[in-house]
């Protein structure tokens, strides 16, 4: 993927609004000890003196967006990477051509280890995927059965008792559902809990600021939502006996991600020039989820790519908002 970076694209890489602000503040040439690039402009590197007199080294390959920074931040990309990219996009003339220093050359050598032709390729067979799906179903069912008991205790105690529950009452069960690979349902339960807590206290949640009558009717609304969750649990109890489309609906309701393979009978492969329309990263309990939205230029077809991220540095930065990528996508 080769293109010229824009300020908007770089800001779109930021993990949060705070990083946008700090990255913007650091994108001043006078704050950097030097900014260099190689003769082919494939790599840029710079040094920044932190407030504690610590020297921070940053290296980036702009076209592939590989990067490293010695600051040790858990954010990906960090403020220094964002700032250096902004300088590259907005003030390329300040980057003097220079030979690669040893620390940059070492990083470039290490990030592309030689591939051995004899290295076996690891593939996931249909049997492996089926076993994995069965384990996931078992794990989710275990969490849903705990949720069922939790709901039964709630109903037996009466909704009035919810006003005296501790703050972690809803959050604990929500986290249990995340552990059971039912993250979407866990988030929904946390949202319900926030609504009930505010409504029971006589306050109007922001989400329903134009529906103040719901503050007095929260028990009815809660009962309706819990009824839907009960039906969801019952659906998973007979999951394997249900039609494929119903299974898909249940998967989406709890937050399962469908693993798609070209070998699947129901999959469809589409080749197109895909425009990257948008991207968002959300917290999903113990991990993050990155959603990227694409639009097929020739097929006029939308697509969404979802990545589960289990550590900050694993955020996928290959699909940049505003870029166009020629690729084959597999749809379920």
**Using one digit for the tens of pLDDT, what is the confidence trace for 66-109?**
899 998 887 878 999 999 999 999 999 999 999 999 999 999 88
Is the pLDDT assigned to residue 115 strictly greater than 50?
no
Highest mean pLDDT among 38-42, 70-74, 131-135: 38-42
The answer on pLDDT for 261 being more than 80 is: no
- Ramachandran assignment for 317, one of left (phi > 0), alpha (psi -120 to 50 degrees), beta (any other): alpha
Determine the pLDDT at residue 120: 38
What is the structure's pLDDT at 258?
65
Exposure b/e, 173-187, CB count within 10 A at least 16 = b: bbbbbbebbbbbbbb
pLDDT at residue 316 greater than cutoff 80: no
Q: How far from 160 is each of 74, 188, 268, CA to CA, in Å?
A: 43, 21, 51
Is the pLDDT at 286 greater than 70? The verdict is no
User: For the chain, where are the alpha helices, taking DSSP H only?
Assistant: 7-12, 17-26, 79-90, 102-111, 126-157, 168-179, 183-200, 213-216, 218-237, 244-254
Which pLDDT value is given to residue 216? 61
What DSSP character marks residue 319? S
302-309, strands of its sheet edge to edge: 302-309, 287-296, 268-284, 324-331
Tokens representing 137 are 């179903």
Q: Full-prediction pTM beyond 0.75?
A: no
Max Cα distance, the chain (Å) = 73
Higher local confidence (pLDDT), 315 or 162: 162
Confidence bin at 2 (pLDDT 50/70/90): low
Q: What average pLDDT does the structure give for the chain? A: 82
Overall average pLDDT of the 170-195 stretch: 89
The predicted model gives 8-13 an average pLDDT of 82
* pLDDT value at 287 more than 70: no
What pLDDT shows up at residue 117? 42
Q: Locate tokens 């028990």: which residue?
A: 219
Contact between 30 and 91 under an 8 Å Cβ cutoff? The reply is no
- Quick one: average pLDDT of 201-216? 52
More confident position, 37 or 217: 37
CA atoms of 234 and 216, how far apart (whole Å): 30
> Stretch 153-158: mean pLDDT, rounded?
92
3-state secondary structure at position 128: helix
Q: Is the pLDDT of residue 245 over 80?
A: yes
- Residue-level pLDDT at 211: 46
Long-range Cβ contacts of 85-89 (<8 Å, 24+ apart): 85/5, 85/10, 85/13, 85/60, 86/7, 86/10, 86/23, 86/24, 86/27, 87/27, 87/29, 87/32, 87/35, 87/46, 88/5, 88/44, 88/60, 88/62, 89/4, 89/5, 89/6, 89/7, 89/10
pLDDT at 159 over 70: yes
Check residue 12 and give its pLDDT. Answer: 80
Instruction: Give the whole-number percent of the chain exceeding pLDDT 70.
Output: 80
Q: How far is CA 63 from CA 5, 20, 113, in A?
A: 9, 21, 19
How large is the average pLDDT for residues 309-315? 55
Q: Which residue has the higher pLDDT, 266 or 13?
A: 13
């Amino acid at each position: 993927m080769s293109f010229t970076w824009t300020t908007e694209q770089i800001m779109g890489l930021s993990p949060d609004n705070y990083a946008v602000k700090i990255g913007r503040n650091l994108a001043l040439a006078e704050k950097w000890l030097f900014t260099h690039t190689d003769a082919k402009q494939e790599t840029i590197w710079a040094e920044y003196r932190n407030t504690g007199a610590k020297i921070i080294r940053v290296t980036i390959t702009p076209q592939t967006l590989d990067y490293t920074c010695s600051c040790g931040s858990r954010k990906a990309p960090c403020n220094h990477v964002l700032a250096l990219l902004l300088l590259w996009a907005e003030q390329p003339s300040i980057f003097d051509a220079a030979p690669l220093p040893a620390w940059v050359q070492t990083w470039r050598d290490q990030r592309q280890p030689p591939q051995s032709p004899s290295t076996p390729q690891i593939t996931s067979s249909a049997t492996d995927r089926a076993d994995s799906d069965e384990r996931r179903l078992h794990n989710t069912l275990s969490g849903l059965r705990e949720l069922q008991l939790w709901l039964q205790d709630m109903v037996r105690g009466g909704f009035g008792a919810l006003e005296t529950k501790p703050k972690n009452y809803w959050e604990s069960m929500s986290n249990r559902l995340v552990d059971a690979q039912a993250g979407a349902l866990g988030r929904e339960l946390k949202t319900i809990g926030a609504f009930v807590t505010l409504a029971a206290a006589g306050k109007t949640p922001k989400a329903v600021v134009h529906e103040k009558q719901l503050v007095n009717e929260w028990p009815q609304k809660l009962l309706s939502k819990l009824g839907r969750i009960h039906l969801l649990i019952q659906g998973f109890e007979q999951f394997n006996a249900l039609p494929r489309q119903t299974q898909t609906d249940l998967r989406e309701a709890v937050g399962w991600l469908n693993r798609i393979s070209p070998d699947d009978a129901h999959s469809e492969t589409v080749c197109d020039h895909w425009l990257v329309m948008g991207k968002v990263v959300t917290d999903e309990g113990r991990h993050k989820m990155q959603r990227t939205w694409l639009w097929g230029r020739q097929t006029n077809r939308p697509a969404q790519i979802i990545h589960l991220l289990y550590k900050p540095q694993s955020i996928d930065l290959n699909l940049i908002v505003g870029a166009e990528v020629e690729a084959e996508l597999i749809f379920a």
